[in-house]
Structure 1
Amino acid sequence: MPLVSAYDSSERLWSAPMPFLFQRRCGPEDRAIPRNYIYTCLNDALAASGLTGPGNEQLRYTPHDVTDALRSGPPPHIAARICGHRTVDTTLGYAAIYPEDVINHHRSFIARRRALRPGEEYREPTAQEWQDFLAHFELRKVALGVCARDFGTPCVHEHACIRCPVLRPDPEQMPRLEEIHANLLDRLQEAKESGWLGEVAAIEASLAAAEQKLAAMRDLAARHTTVHLGMPDLRGVVARIDSEQRNEDAKG
Structure 2
Amino acid sequence: MPFLFQRRYGPEHRAMSRNYVHTCLEQSLAASGLTDATGQPLSFKPHDFRRLFLTDAIRSGLPPHIAAKIAGHKVLDTTMGYAAIYPEDVVAHHRAFIARRRSLRPCEEYREIMPEEWQDFLGHFELRKVALGICTRDYGTPCVHEHACIRCPQLRPDPAEMPRLQGIRANLQDRLAEAKEHGWLGEVVAIEASLTAADQKLAGMRQLASRHTTIHLGMPDFRRDVGRASRPS
TM norm structure 1: 0.46
Q: Rg larger in 1 or in 2?
A: 2
TM norm structure 2: 0.50
